[in-house]
Chains A and B, each alone.
Chain A
């Protein structure tokens, strides 16, 4: 494993980010307006019904932590898609960089983007709604960690689908996030979901991470069971998605799909 090659992947995508103001949309604009939308929604519900004072923090913390997953996933997936858009995939594949180094570089780049986005939305939540996510404390760290891992895992699934089905699979880069947004109980317990989808929701690691977040926000003890389930599930998701992308890369090479991108 070459640290130099991993850093080079980060530098390559940083330069593209710097050159393309539209890429800042993902990092600053969307998160900012999500905070405004969900924060104002929570504030309105709380004004209307005093018993629902917890709504605003639930919504704000939910959308902020959802952005952890979203930013990681979208940065890795669009990083790979950038190579397909610029027909650079064959150039990359004929260098010594390994799949693991490339994925590690994208993951690191995603982490940098995540930090930038989280700084922006944490400040926005604090300034607009007086909500400080960091007040949740250290239990936030494993929750964020599990969501970060799930974001990487989904991105690997998207990359695998792109390798197998070509650019028509790009829609998944954005679509899969919103499946998780709907099914993970980001803003409310999954018991609020229709009964038919609750079993699906209950096997998602993100469900446990968001439930842990709400427990902590309610001032309860740190819910180690949920945090452990979230982290363990995220690790399993990462392993499965890594296996999936390796298999898809094997199919990609065997069927000569590289010509689709060159």
Chain B
């Protein structure tokens, strides 16, 4: 199977804390995968390693066949990243910021301008094009961040908590836009979220992490059946509860 992302045996320790403990993670071309787990499970550390921003202690990462860290630049050319907690540069207008990121992804200004208009329209935020990034609300910032991430038609979209703190209607717009991007452009998706309903609507595969290890990997239905619960929400509560119990001990 052709993987756009293939990570094997990832380990990461920060002093005495083992953040990631032997994670294997693959995302096939066009596949939509959710990386789930309670707070402190190791999701963000895993994502940061996959993006080349944190170096794993052990393990290997390949993005679209480019092995990190040597192939980071070519690998990142095929990745779009957005996190709900990350703003765009304050002192630029939305159109300018997007054009700058287009340039970082190797797009010429005219080419970027076309992609910017198309994607602002796709996510319903064309009216924000001339606003300063610092003036955006958190929801608008997320939508514009997603436009930034899809601008260069990446093969893999990595989203860290993209819809956290969004109104339901904006979250719906985000999901719809992402599904359209994935369906029309064949983009694979790796997303972290605490919204299980959203995950069930958006992703065809879920990977649960707890205490830095993958504890479940399959379709939402398979994972729910494995734990004998009714839905992903219950599985999440089960895993989070396990973690708390163990921490108490």
Query: Which residues on A are within 8 Å of B, measured CB to CB?
Result: 2, 4-5, 7-8, 11-12, 15-16, 19-20, 82-83, 85-88, 90-98, 250, 253-256, 258-259, 262
Q: Are A253 and B76 in contact (CB under 8 A)?
A: no
| Closest chain A CB from B83 CB (angstroms) | 7
Partner of A15, one of B72, B91, B104: B91
Interface centre among B73, B101, B103 (most CB of A within 10 A): B103
Q: B96 touching A95 by the CB < 8 A rule?
A: no
Question: In the complex the two chains form, is A97's CB within 8 Å of B85's CB?
Answer: no
Q: Which of B55, B90, B106, B148 contacts A254 (CB 8 A)?
A: B55
State the Cβ distance, B80 to closest chain A Cβ, in Å. 9
- Asked if A8 and B91 make an inter-chain contact with CB atoms under 8 angstroms apart, the answer reads no
Contact with A along B162-176 (1 / 0, CB 8 A): 000000000000000
Q: Which residues of B contact A82 (CB under 8 A)?
A: 89
- Other A-B pairs beyond A96-B106, A256-B14, 8, CB < 8 Å: A4-B106, A7-B103, A8-B104, A15-B92, A16-B92, A87-B87, A94-B52, A253-B54
Task: Assess A4 versus B108: contact at CB under 8 Å? Given A15-B91, A20-B91, A258-B48.
Answer: yes
The list of the 5 closest CB pairs from A to B, nearest first, reads A8-B103, A95-B104, A96-B77, A94-B81, A253-B55
**Residue interface bits B1-30, CB-to-A below 8 A is 1, else 0:** 000000000001010000000000000000
Indicate if the CB atoms of A93 and B51 lie closer than 8 Å.
yes
Name the B residues within 8 Å of A256 (CB-CB): 12, 14, 45, 48, 54
Pair A5/B83 contact, Cβ less than 8 Å: no
Partner of B90, one of A86, A93, A255, A258: A86
C-alpha spacing A85/B79, complex, angstroms:
24
* Tally of B interface residues using CB under 8 Å: 37
Can you list 9 A-B contacts with CB-CB less than 8 angstroms, sorted by A residue number?
A: A5-B106, A93-B51, A94-B76, A94-B81, A96-B106, A254-B54, A255-B14, A256-B54, A259-B48
Interface contact B73-A87, CB-CB below 8 Å: no
Closest approach, in angstroms, between the C-beta of B189 and any C-beta of chain A? 16
Q: Is B128 an interface residue (CB 8 A)?
A: no
Partner of A86, one of B12, B91, B101: B91
How many Å lie between the Cα of A208 and that of B47 in the bound state? 49
Chain A proximity of B142: nearest CB distance (Å):
13
A97 to B105, CA, bound (A): 8
How many angstroms between the C-alpha atoms of A95 and B154 in the bound complex? 11
Contact, CB under 8 Å: A86 / B53: no
User: Which chain B residues have a beta carbon within 8 Å of chain A's beta carbons?
Assistant: 12, 14, 44-45, 48, 51-55, 69, 72-74, 76-77, 79, 81, 83, 85-92, 96, 100-101, 103-106, 108, 148, 158
Of chain A, the residue at the smallest CB distance from B133 is: A86
Interface centre among A7, A20, A91, A262 (most CB of B within 10 A): A91
Please name the residue on chain B nearest to A20 by beta carbon.
B91
Residues from chain A with Cβ under 8 Å of B148 in the complex: 91
Task: Report whether A95 and B88 are in contact in the complex, using a CB–CB cutoff of 8 Å.
Answer: no
- Chain B residues with CB under 8 Å of A250's CB are 55
Known: A8-B103, A94-B53. A262 touches B88 (CB 8 A): no
Q: Are A86 and B87 in contact (CB under 8 A)?
A: yes
CA–CA, A250 and B106, complex, Å? 25
User: B47's closest neighbor in chain A, by CB?
Assistant: A94
Asked if B53 contacts A91 (CB within 8 A), the reply is no
**Within the assembled complex, what's the spacing in Å between the Cα atoms of A92 and B88?**
10
Known: A19-B91, A87-B86, A262-B85. A98 touches B53 (CB 8 A): no
Decide: A96 near B74, CB < 8 A? Known: A4-B103, A88-B88, A256-B45. Answer: yes
Q: Give, as a whole number of angstroms, the nearest-CB distance from A18 to chain B.
A: 9
Q: Please tell me if the beta carbons of A93 and B88 are within 8 angstroms of each other in the complex.
A: no
With A16-B92, A97-B73, A256-B14: A91-B101 Cβ-Cβ less than 8 Å: yes
Say whether B76 contacts A258, CB under 8 Å: no
Tell me if B105 and A96 are in contact (CB < 8 A).
Answer: yes
Contacting residues, chain A, for B77 (C-beta < 8 A): 96
